[in-house]
Amino acid sequence: MSNSMRRRSGGRPQPAHQHSLGITRRELLQVGYSGLLGLSLPGLLARQAAAANRKSSSGVQRSNKSVIIVFCTGAPSHHDTFDMKPEAPPEVRGEFQAISTSTTGLHVCEHLPRMAERAHLYSVVRSLSHGENNHLVATHHVLTGNKQPGAFFDKIASRDDFPSYASACDYFHPRTDGIPTGVNLPTYLREGPLLWPGQYSGFLGARHDPWQITSDPSQPDFRVDALQLPQGVDVTRLESRRSLLGEFDRQRAALDETLAARQLTDEQQQAFTMLTSSKITQAFEIHRESDAVRDRYGRHTFGQSLLLARRLRQVGVPVVQVNMGRVQNWDNHGNIFPTLKTRLLPPLDQGVAALLDDLNESGLLEDTLVMMLGEFGRTPKLNSQPGQAPGRDHWAPCFFGLFAGAGVRGGQIIGKSDAIGAYPVTTPYSPDDIGATVYSLLGVDPYIEVHDRLQRPIQLNRGSIIEPLFTGA
């Protein structure tokens, strides 16, 4: 790891320096830059601090490709969506009928008619597999491409985890233009004390965490508070405050050469870049879209979140993760068929189909990987719940993933599961392989060495690129 990537240690304690404005260096750093401005930017700029002037150390140039992750948190059933088993016994095949698609030989659920019509745009991998049947541990594996260090049942997120794809991209290809490297929306994967791992930068440090947007873009009052000027503050007043901060800059030579001081300077520039430029703020102004476009995506959380992902992709955000519901939304242990039929599949079908159409028609699909999957699959055999309609339980040995764009050859079925969808009968692909594929597209060497919080060397990823996605199954 290069010296520029190592944590810098502070020097020996020095007497507090008194500025001409009567504020000590310690007070300045305790208040923080967002406090001086009165801005609602906590956590957003600090996580990008020290990014300025740092060159990529991955040995791979930044890619022009982006990734939109459509994450079905809780894990959808492959049997009832994209790997149906119409010839299996009733307790396996379930209640839904399979329909043909625009890809010869591919059949999907009857409640996914729009996705059936667009099957030529994507490939379905039916042989994803791993060994973690726990939601939290499996989510970490899928969203980082690595097994969670020290994993155990319901191990929550920690700074010992591997980084999310956006976080590693930000680490190796930092930005200084006010555009975040990663945005997660519209929900925060947390339930009570359980904080889902895989959403953050783990051992790379908080400065590389993706933005977490927790507002519903389908609501009339949708706004992202972190990107709003406080009431009564306009750009003119913001610029006047720059002169105030200039006083601190003129005194900067007297500050200790600490990382905190350098972070302050980076945050200043990024704050002004972000708040005086309309590029990223307008991306969140979803009301700018026509009614026809918003209707096409669907006036629901799924659809409008995917529309917002497209808008963020357009302004250059490399990695956007759209959580299809709150944690365990697709965890259908019971009442699975009414839930899928009425609440989950129709909005997913409408929103993802509209996203693929938009990206394809605009030419953005050529450089955008759309990846839709959950953390695992569901059991082949329906369970029997006392007093409740049947459902399916956790099943990590076999599940599906949908991939489109960024060079993926559409209209393919990659991999095959057995007659009841229990295990792959062809080469299984792990979340590690998903990670190698995503990193390669983002211009990050999957096999580069990074260091954990104890400065131990760790290989970023140990998977292999899923080559058939690009070369043909």
Same domain, yes or no, for 24 and 43?
A: yes
| Amino acid residing at 155 | K
Instruction: Summarize pLDDT for 210-229 with one digit per residue, the tens.
Output: 999 999 999 999 988 756 55
Predicted confidence at residue 262, as pLDDT, reads: 46
Residue 8 lies in a domain: no
Q: What is the mean pLDDT of residues 73-86?
A: 98
Predicted confidence at residue 223, as pLDDT, reads: 86
Residue 368 lies in a domain: yes
In Å, what is the CA distance from 261 to each residue of 41, 42, 265? 18, 17, 7
CA distance 119 to 57: 38
Indicate the average pLDDT of the chain.
83
Total number of domains constituting the chain: 2
Same domain, yes or no, for 199 and 250?
A: no
- Do the beta carbons of residue 347 and residue 295 sit within 8 Å? no
Same domain, yes or no, for 244 and 152?
A: no
Same domain, yes or no, for 163 and 24?
A: no
Q: Degrees (nearest 5) of the Cα angle 311, 174, 456? A: 130
CA distance 183 to 406: 19
CA distance 168 to 144: 9
pTM: 0.81
Q: Degrees (nearest 5) of the Cα angle 238, 264, 16? A: 115
Tell which of 240, 258, 278 closes a domain: 278
CA distance 164 to 146: 10
Instruction: Identify the domain containing residue 262 by its residue range.
Output: 17-48+225-278
Same domain, yes or no, for 28 and 69?
A: no
Instruction: Grade residue 29 by pLDDT with cuts at 50, 70 and 90.
Output: very low
| Residue 281 Cα to chain centre, angstroms | 19
Same domain, yes or no, for 116 and 215?
A: yes
